[in-house]
């Protein structure tokens, strides 16, 4: 036995975990693949900006700033040891639990209100929803999963999202997972996907923004953050989300009963899915998708083609907020803009140069959303509707059109021309939206 800090581990087990007392948890494997640190929490230490010298952070300082992650680890550990946290309000009454269960019966409905569900589950929407979906899709039985290990894995995933982030938090992950479930039930996919495909899709959706710091990649690069250095300024956040997810999978032992070859394949394919969510690669993926559709050569009996479609599905799920009902979409728009503006405030404070979309003095939610819908969401969902021309895809496009018109109305009011209402907007009504069947 060897010791790291105060935690012992057996060095004869090459997949054993060890915990350094400052919260730096690593996972080793015989295959030599080293994952990202468990709960490494890419903390931003703004004291570095007070130095006139080149930005440089010592290893010891980096270790100190991982203390918060260790606290998150302790919280989840206490949960599994049955220790009640003081002043905890984790126990819900039967009424709340009953309402949450009723909502899960309609988890395949596109107007599923993830904010309400999160309140009903007392902030445990990601754990509750994902566990339910694993059971609904028959994954627990098919892969002979230990339900306690599964719940432990999901609790660790939820804990490693930063609740202080207005947008990139566990509720967003739960929302993306619910959207992914809706796509998996689409006719073209449901009749072609294997249990393996569904398993990868749900895990990737639940972990796709794991340990997100609440700032974007350009910010990490210009502040010389250690993650930017580690991943050579390429898909920095997505690589971190993926490696963090792999770390939790290994730490939980959820698939320890599988062969090493299958576990490695799972880790690699989850990585392919998460890396596809890098918005800077949007045009590349969209071009490939469009070319396949133009040629009509997508064959879902082909495992590679199915994997590509799952990448596109996760991309859609990740940015589907403008395709939700106005009540839900507006909340997401406000949250993501709040996160942008918070980054901009920090950049102003430390004279870093404000990133695009992050200046609260010159940008508005309406302008940001209209641009986002026009250049990113509409092209992607237009092609998705070509691939899967169903009630759901038409409903999403319908909501997208209504929401864009609503933001244009807000934009006109803010510019002082609120009386000049577009007649098209006046005529549009939610009743004209095609209604999807209510699926469970």
Q: Is position 45 annotated in a ligand binding site?
A: no
Mean pLDDT for 368-389 is 98
HSE of 340, CA atoms in CB hemisphere, 13 A: 19
Mean pLDDT for 205-227 is 97
- The lowest-confidence range among 268-277, 284-293, 363-372, 410-419 is 410-419
User: What is residue 23's predicted lDDT score, i.e. its pLDDT?
Assistant: 37
Q: Is position 421 annotated in a ligand binding site?
A: no
Q: Is position 342 annotated in a ligand binding site?
A: no
User: What is residue 411's predicted lDDT score, i.e. its pLDDT?
Assistant: 96
pLDDT digits (tens, 9 = 90+) for 257-281: 999 999 999 999 999 999 999 999 9
Mean pLDDT for 151-168 is 98
pLDDT digits (tens, 9 = 90+) for 300-313: 999 999 999 999 99
Q: Is position 168 annotated in a ligand binding site?
A: yes
| Secondary structure, 3-state, the chain | CEEECCEEECCCCCCCEEECCCCCEEECCCCCCCCCCECCCCCCCHHHHHCCCCCCCCHHHHHHCCHHHHHHHHHHHHHHHCCCCCCCCCCCCHHHHHHHHHHHCCCCCCCCCHHHHHHHCCCCHHHHHHHHHHHHCCHHHHCCCCHHHHHHHHHHHHHCCCCCCCCCCHHHHHHHHHHHHHHHCCHHHHCCCCHHHHHHHHHHHHHCCCCCCCCCHHHHHHCCCHHHHHCCCCCHHHHHHHHHHHHHHHHHCCCCCCCHHHHHHHHHHHHHHHHCCCHHHHHHHHHHHHHHHHHCCCCCCCHHHHHHHHHHHHHHHHCCHHHCCHHHHHHHHHHHHHHHHHHHHHHHHCCCCCCCCCCCCCCCHHHHHHHHHHHHHHHHHHHHHHHCCCHHHHHHHHHHHHHHHHHHHHHHHHCCCCCCCCHHHHHCCHHHCCCCCCCC
Q: CA-CA distances (angstroms) from residue 235 to 125, 126, 168, 179?
A: 27, 24, 16, 23
User: What is residue 206's predicted lDDT score, i.e. its pLDDT?
Assistant: 98
Mean pLDDT for 156-168 is 98
Q: What is the distance between the alpha carbons of residues 8 and 17, in angstroms, rounded to a whole number?
A: 9
Q: Is position 170 annotated in a ligand binding site?
A: yes
Residue 138: pLDDT over 60: yes
Mean pLDDT for 147-157 is 98
- Please give the mean pLDDT across all residues of the chain: 83
HSE of 63, CA atoms in CB hemisphere, 13 A: 8
Rg of the chain on CA atoms, in Å: 22
- The lowest-confidence range among 38-42, 68-72, 264-268, 276-280 is 68-72
Q: Is position 216 annotated in a ligand binding site?
A: no
Residue 69: pLDDT over 50: no
Residue 350: pLDDT over 80: yes
Angle subtended at Cα 52 by Cα 66 and Cα 353, rounded to the nearest 5 degrees: 80
Q: CA-CA distances (angstroms) from residue 98 to 102, 438, 440?
A: 6, 20, 17
Asked whether 335 and 352 are in contact (CB, 8 A), the reply is: no
Residue 16: pLDDT over 80: no
Mean pLDDT for 116-129 is 97
Asked whether 190 and 323 are in contact (CB, 8 A), the reply is: no
Residue 21: pLDDT over 50: no
- Of the pLDDT bands very low, low, confident and very high (cuts 50, 70, 90), residue 416 is confident
- The lowest-confidence range among 23-32, 36-45, 144-153, 238-247 is 23-32
User: What is residue 80's predicted lDDT score, i.e. its pLDDT?
Assistant: 53
Q: Is position 111 annotated in a ligand binding site?
A: no
- Of the pLDDT bands very low, low, confident and very high (cuts 50, 70, 90), residue 89 is very low
HSE of 237, CA atoms in CB hemisphere, 13 A: 22
Q: Tokens 């445990």 label which residue?
A: 124
User: What is residue 217's predicted lDDT score, i.e. its pLDDT?
Assistant: 98
Structure-block tokens of residue 419: 């009386």
Mean pLDDT for 46-61 is 45
User: What is residue 438's predicted lDDT score, i.e. its pLDDT?
Assistant: 40
Tell me which residue of 268, 384, 377 sits closest to 321, measured CA to CA: 377
User: What is residue 436's predicted lDDT score, i.e. its pLDDT?
Assistant: 44
User: What is residue 44's predicted lDDT score, i.e. its pLDDT?
Assistant: 61
Share of the chain above pLDDT 90, in %: 72
**Dihedral sign, CA of 12, 3, 161, 350?**
negative
User: What is residue 49's predicted lDDT score, i.e. its pLDDT?
Assistant: 54
Enumerate long-range contacts of 352-356, CB under 8 Å, 24 or more apart. Answer: 352/49, 352/219, 352/222, 352/223, 353/222, 355/216, 355/218, 355/219
User: What is residue 86's predicted lDDT score, i.e. its pLDDT?
Assistant: 45
Active-site option among 41, 168, 225, 292 = 168
pLDDT digits (tens, 9 = 90+) for 330-339: 999 999 999 9
- The lowest-confidence range among 12-21, 100-109, 191-200, 299-308 is 12-21
- Of the pLDDT bands very low, low, confident and very high (cuts 50, 70, 90), residue 75 is low
Asked whether 45 and 65 are in contact (CB, 8 A), the reply is: yes
Q: Is position 209 annotated in a ligand binding site?
A: yes
Q: What CATH class has 2-318? A: mainly alpha
Angle subtended at Cα 188 by Cα 183 and Cα 189, rounded to the nearest 5 degrees: 50
Structure-block tokens of residue 255: 């698939």
- Of the pLDDT bands very low, low, confident and very high (cuts 50, 70, 90), residue 238 is very high
Q: Is position 95 annotated in a ligand binding site?
A: no
Cross-strand partners of 67: none
Is residue 168 part of the annotated active site? The answer reads: yes
Cross-strand partners of 9: 2
Domain boundaries, the chain: 2-318, 326-432
Asked whether 206 and 154 are in contact (CB, 8 A), the reply is: yes
Mean pLDDT for 4-17 is 36
């Amino acid at each position: 036995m060897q010791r790291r800090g105060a935690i012992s581990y057996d060095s004869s087990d090459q997949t054993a975990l060890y915990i350094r007392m400052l919260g730096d948890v690593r996972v080793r494997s015989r295959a030599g693949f080293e994952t990202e640190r468990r709960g490494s929490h890419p903390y931003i230490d703004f004291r570095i900006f007070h130095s006139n010298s080149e930005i440089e952070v010592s290893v010891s300082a980096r270790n100190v700033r991982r203390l918060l992650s260790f606290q998150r680890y302790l919280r989840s550990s206490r949960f599994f040891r049955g220790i009640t946290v003081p002043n905890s309000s984790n126990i819900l009454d039967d009424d709340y639990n009953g309402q949450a269960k009723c909502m899960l019966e309609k988890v395949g409905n596109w107007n599923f209100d993830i904010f309400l569900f999160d309140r009903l589950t007392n902030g445990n929407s990601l754990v509750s929803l994902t566990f339910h979906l694993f059971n609904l899709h028959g994954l627990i039985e098919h892969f002979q999963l230990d339900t306690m290990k599964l719940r432990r894995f999901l609790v660790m995933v939820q804990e490693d999202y930063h609740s202080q982030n207005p947008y990139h938090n566990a509720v967003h992950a739960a929302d993306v997972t619910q959207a992914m479930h809706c796509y998996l039930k689409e006719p073209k996919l449901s009749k072609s996907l294997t249990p393996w495909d569904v398993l990868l899709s749900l895990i990737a959706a639940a972990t796709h923004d794991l340990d997100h710091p609440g700032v974007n990649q350009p910010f990490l690069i210009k502040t010389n953050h250690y993650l930017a250095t580690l991943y050579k300024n390429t898909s920095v956040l997505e690589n971190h989300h993926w490696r963090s997810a792999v770390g939790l999978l290994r730490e939980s032992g959820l698939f320890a009963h599988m062969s090493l070859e299958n576990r490695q394949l799972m880790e690699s394919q989850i990585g392919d899915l998460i890396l596809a969510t890098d918005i800077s690669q949007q045009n590349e993926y969209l071009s490939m998708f469009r070319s396949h559709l133009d040629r009509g050569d997508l064959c879902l009996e082909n495992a590679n083609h199915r994997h590509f479609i799952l990448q596109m599905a996760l991309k859609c799920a990740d940015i589907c907020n403008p395709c939700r009902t106005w009540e839900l979409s507006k909340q997401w728009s406000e949250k993501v803009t709040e996160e942008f503006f918070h980054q901009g405030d920090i950049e102003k404070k430390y004279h870093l140069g404000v990133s695009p979309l992050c200046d609260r003095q010159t940008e508005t939610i309406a302008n940001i959303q209209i641009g986002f819908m026009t250049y990113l969401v509409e092209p992607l969902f237009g092609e998705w509707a070509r691939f899967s021309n169903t009630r759901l895809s038409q409903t999403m496009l319908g909501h997208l059109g209504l929401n864009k018109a609503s933001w244009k109305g807000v934009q006109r009011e803010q510019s002082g021309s609120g009386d000049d209402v577009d007649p098209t907007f006046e005529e549009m009504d939610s009743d004209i939206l095609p209604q999807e069947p209510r699926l469970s």
